[in-house]
Chain A
Amino acid sequence: MTVGEFSGTGALIRLILRRDRLLLPIWIALPPLFAILVVAAFVSLYPTAASQQMLAAQIVNSPGFVALLGPVSSPTIGGLSAWRSGLFAAVIVAGANALTVIRHTRADEETGRYELLGSGAVGRRAPLSASLVVTLGADLVIAALVTAGLVAFGLPVVGSLALGLSFAAIGWTFAALAGVAAQLAESSGVARGIVGAIFVLFYLLRAVGDANEQSGQSWLSWMSPIGWMRLVQPFANERWGVFALFLGAFIVLILVAYALASRRDIGAGILSPRLGPARASQWLRGPLALAWRLHRRTLLAWAALFAVYGIMIGYLATTSAYLLAANPQLANLFAHFGGASAYTDALFTLSLTFLGWVAAAYAITATLRLQSEEVEGRADHVLTTAVSRLRWAASDLALVVIGSAVLLAAFGLPAGLAYGLSTGNVGYELPRVLVATLAYLPAVWVVAGIAMALYGLVPRVSFVSWGALGAFVLVELIGETLQVSQSVLNISPFNHVPKVLVSGVSLMPLVSLTLLALVLVIAGLVGFQRRSIG
């Protein structure tokens, strides 16, 4: 390892800060914002120590919640807030770190941008070092903001610092992991896939470990960095030693990444890409087949995730013997998700709300694939053949519509089946759970419709569809705990989805949402047919 291999790191750091000057502040702000919102919610809902202890006891005694979000380490506002914000922070911080590192290492190599830099006075370790420095710095800012925000609410300084640092530590771990993945894979898509799969694996290890802590399986949680976040025990007896685990993992991972980086050629990966067929198969002959070919791997990967999640929820819902609905305190928390009903129904509804958002995120990516095809010039190939614009766009949209249904069904079927098998009433539970899941489809389609309308009419601002989804999620999150006027809640299409498990199917909102989605899609298609391409 020579100093020359790092030369140019400073310049690259400035380049990253310039390129990410909008994204970086957003993902730095989200975790502290969410943590503060959660604290505010718990402070207003559970003002007394007694109510906090009761809530914590109930959570700890319900395996479903323990599996989803982990146990509560301390029956205080701090402990509850750490419990509630942990998963969200892990998703955002780990995801943002990994995406940033891959974006500035492998993606740059893949597109050839790195060649420009690499031919200058830039060492081969500089891109990885620069992206790590930026992400680590951003994580420290997150830690500082979380600590400051919670201390401002009067929470203990030590616990706030431990929680903030646990956010930063999961970020570092995934930044380093992404650094390794970026060396292994030749394409940034594969690198992102590797990191995503590892995240899911760590989450599942933690979920199973936490849920079975009593039966001595907590060692599974110790195998997972996502588990470590909780094992730091913010606001209880903070275990600072856990941070040594984070640090150790981080150091090992970056050493591996640097070793791999020195061993390979620019542009090449450690995993060599497979060869493809010399001829196209018979079915690859239209835009729909092409769209399926381009979507399928992503769609199947997402569907597998939804299915695993479904099995988990279905299984957990039944292993729980506790019906929390009898308790008015927790019923408050569930009120937004499922009303004061059975615990299992509430658990399902909570998971479904989350899944609805994820499915909507999928729908946006899949819809805006049209735009990346256009911007990157691949749409030209298809649109200068005997394929009309309408047929091209409709082929993609067909996969969005069907794909989002497949995703939700991939959750609903195994969840309903697992739940039904254990209650011994598959015939009753399976259709009920499946219908409740599919009820989210029209809302997901509305989000896809927003993306399509923007893409067709004003493609330059199509990213606003992400802003819209973010706003809907925020409205739901705030509505979960704080008193918000109904007219604000009504902005979100998800708020109109009937809570089937709780109050049964009501068709009107489903039909209206579907019609709204249809209008948006048609507006987008009309706009798309009238404007210039590229």
Chain B
Amino acid sequence: MSVIQIQNLTKYYGKTLALDSVDLEVEQGEVFGFIGPNGAGKTTTLRILLGLLRKNAGKVSVLGGDPWRDAVALHRRLAYVPGDVNLWPSLSGGEVIDLLARLRGGFDQSRRDELVKRFALDPTRQCRTYSKGNRQKVALIAALASDVELFILDEPTSGLDPLMEATFRECVAEIKRAGKTVLLSSHILAEVEALCDRISIIKEGKIVETGTLTELRHLTRTSVSVKTRRQITGLSTFQGVHNLTVDGASTRFSVDADAINPVMQYLTKFDVMALTSTLPTLEDLFLRHYELQTGESAQ
């Protein structure tokens, strides 16, 4: 069952096109990663899902409802952590956590206390004295303490230290085990790689890739560096082999996923002594699109 369904979503800010026919589908119980560079349209998409922004065209459904029309009913069933957390300066962190969780419709007191402890937050301090990371913790705890079906998290760890980021990952894993759904926008790729079942990459308001990490890897090249007893010949004629450099016994190239098998079989003919292959990281995937983008703008 789809928790979030977006079809052909288009949004303009004035004359600027912010989202260009975005399609996205998040299934129940999955952790879905939404990645892209700053200004690509991640936050705009999330704010439309929350009924904060009006869309110009397309179909959007969240938990089976229309986020604009059924905002209040849907908000009872979801929790949102904005990317840039600003809190009421005169309220204490503890007050904000309780208030937000109550506004969402009740929360588990012991879970709340446990989260405060795990995230090492001092809830008695006034929000004006919190750092960016601490403000983020307040919003995260308020969201995680709520008993909801869907979590929409907009770059929730950008101000957290590595220790707290690990705590956050644990919490997301717990949510997933409980069968709840998470939509996580991020540009911390290691985090997305560790947490997410499926991923969409958005670039300039367009979704450029969607799939599991394995599926996405399939779309990129693996870098291979190989040492053979006999000098390799004829590799350049293979479909799917790129950036080939042959230097005596050492050969380096990158290879498309669907060409890996024939290339490997061919290599054995030259008596392989050592071989290292590097799987593309999410970063490679991301950079591939990003470089394309900067390449285009350079022209």
Chain A residues packing against B (C-beta within 8 Å): 110, 186-187, 189, 273-280, 284-287, 290, 293-294, 297, 376-378, 380-389, 530-534
Q: How far is the CB of B94 from chain A (nearest CB, A)?
A: 4
Task: Give 14 A-B contacts (CB < 8 Å), ordered by A residue.
Answer: A186-B128, A189-B89, A278-B124, A280-B96, A280-B97, A284-B99, A285-B99, A380-B82, A382-B103, A384-B50, A384-B80, A385-B75, A385-B76, A534-B53
- Alpha-carbon distance A380/B89, docked complex (angstroms): 15
From known contacts A294-B88, A378-B88, infer whether A275 and B126 are also in contact, taking CB-CB under 8 Å: yes
Top 7 nearest A-B pairs (CB, nearest first) are: A276-B92, A280-B98, A385-B103, A280-B95, A384-B80, A278-B94, A533-B52
A residues within 8 A CB of B54? 530-532
Q: How far is the CB of B38 from chain A (nearest CB, A)?
A: 17
**Beta-carbon contact of A277 and B124 below 8 Å:** yes
Check if B47 is an interface residue, CB within 8 A of chain A.
yes
* Interface contacts beyond A186-B128, A381-B100: sample of 12 additional A-B pairs, CB < 8 Å, sorted by A: A273-B126, A276-B93, A276-B125, A279-B94, A280-B94, A280-B102, A297-B90, A376-B86, A378-B88, A381-B96, A383-B71, A534-B47
A residues within 8 A CB of B96? 280, 381
User: B23-58: which have CB < 8 Å to A?
Assistant: 47, 50, 52-54
- Alpha-carbon distance A324/B53, docked complex (angstroms): 61
Classify the secondary structure of A's interface with B.
loop
From known contacts A276-B126, A532-B52, A532-B53, infer whether A386 and B76 are also in contact, taking CB-CB under 8 Å: yes
- Alpha-carbon distance A278/B243, docked complex (angstroms): 60
Q: How far is the CB of B268 from chain A (nearest CB, A)?
A: 58
**Beta-carbon contact of B75 and A275 below 8 Å:** no
Most buried by B among A276, A297, A383: A276
**Beta-carbon contact of A385 and B100 below 8 Å:** yes
Residue of B whose beta carbon sits closest to that of A385: B103
**Beta-carbon contact of A386 and B104 below 8 Å:** yes
A residues within 8 A CB of B64? none
**Beta-carbon contact of A534 and B52 below 8 Å:** yes
Q: Out of A293, A384, A387, which one reaches B91, CB within 8 Å?
A: A293
Q: How far is the CB of A239 from chain B (nearest CB, A)?
A: 45
- Alpha-carbon distance A381/B93, docked complex (angstroms): 14
Residue of A whose beta carbon sits closest to that of B71: A388
- Alpha-carbon distance A275/B52, docked complex (angstroms): 33
Q: How far is the CB of A382 from chain B (nearest CB, A)?
A: 6
Q: How far is the CB of B236 from chain A (nearest CB, A)?
A: 52
From known contacts A186-B128, A277-B95, A534-B47, infer whether A381 and B139 are also in contact, taking CB-CB under 8 Å: yes
Residue of A whose beta carbon sits closest to that of B86: A377
B residues within 8 A CB of A189? 89
- Alpha-carbon distance A385/B73, docked complex (angstroms): 9
- Alpha-carbon distance A385/B47, docked complex (angstroms): 13
Q: How far is the CB of B132 from chain A (nearest CB, A)?
A: 9
- Alpha-carbon distance A278/B97, docked complex (angstroms): 10
Q: Out of B72, B75, B89, B95, which one reaches A279, CB within 8 Å?
A: B95
Q: How far is the CB of B4 from chain A (nearest CB, A)?
A: 15
**Beta-carbon contact of B128 and A381 below 8 Å:** no
Check if B133 is an interface residue, CB within 8 A of chain A.
no
From known contacts A275-B124, A279-B98, infer whether A386 and B52 are also in contact, taking CB-CB under 8 Å: no
**Beta-carbon contact of B80 and A380 below 8 Å:** yes
**Beta-carbon contact of B103 and A110 below 8 Å:** no
Q: How far is the CB of B96 from chain A (nearest CB, A)?
A: 8
- Alpha-carbon distance A16/B269, docked complex (angstroms): 73
B residues within 8 A CB of A187? 89, 128
A residues within 8 A CB of B85? 377
Most buried by B among A110, A275, A287, A532: A532
Check if B105 is an interface residue, CB within 8 A of chain A.
yes
- Alpha-carbon distance A234/B13, docked complex (angstroms): 57
**Beta-carbon contact of B53 and A533 below 8 Å:** yes
- Alpha-carbon distance A187/B91, docked complex (angstroms): 13
- Alpha-carbon distance A376/B135, docked complex (angstroms): 14
B residues within 8 A CB of A530? 54
B residues within 8 A CB of A382? 100, 103
B residues within 8 A CB of A388? 71-72
Q: How far is the CB of B144 from chain A (nearest CB, A)?
A: 14
- Alpha-carbon distance A66/B86, docked complex (angstroms): 48
Q: How far is the CB of B248 from chain A (nearest CB, A)?
A: 51
From known contacts A380-B52, A388-B71, infer whether A273 and B128 are also in contact, taking CB-CB under 8 Å: yes
Check if B84 is an interface residue, CB within 8 A of chain A.
yes
From known contacts A388-B71, A532-B53, infer whether A276 and B91 are also in contact, taking CB-CB under 8 Å: yes
**Beta-carbon contact of B87 and A378 below 8 Å:** yes
Q: Out of B71, B79, B99, B128, which one reaches A280, CB within 8 Å?
A: B99
- Alpha-carbon distance A430/B92, docked complex (angstroms): 42
Chain B window 91-132, contacts with chain A (Cβ cutoff 8 Å), 1 for yes, 0 for no:
111111111101111000000000000000001111011000
- Alpha-carbon distance A280/B124, docked complex (angstroms): 10
B residues within 8 A CB of A277? 92, 94-95, 124
**Beta-carbon contact of B95 and A384 below 8 Å:** no
**Beta-carbon contact of B75 and A386 below 8 Å:** yes
**Beta-carbon contact of B80 and A278 below 8 Å:** no
Q: How far is the CB of A451 from chain B (nearest CB, A)?
A: 21
- Alpha-carbon distance A285/B95, docked complex (angstroms): 10
**Beta-carbon contact of B128 and A110 below 8 Å:** yes
- Alpha-carbon distance A110/B80, docked complex (angstroms): 26
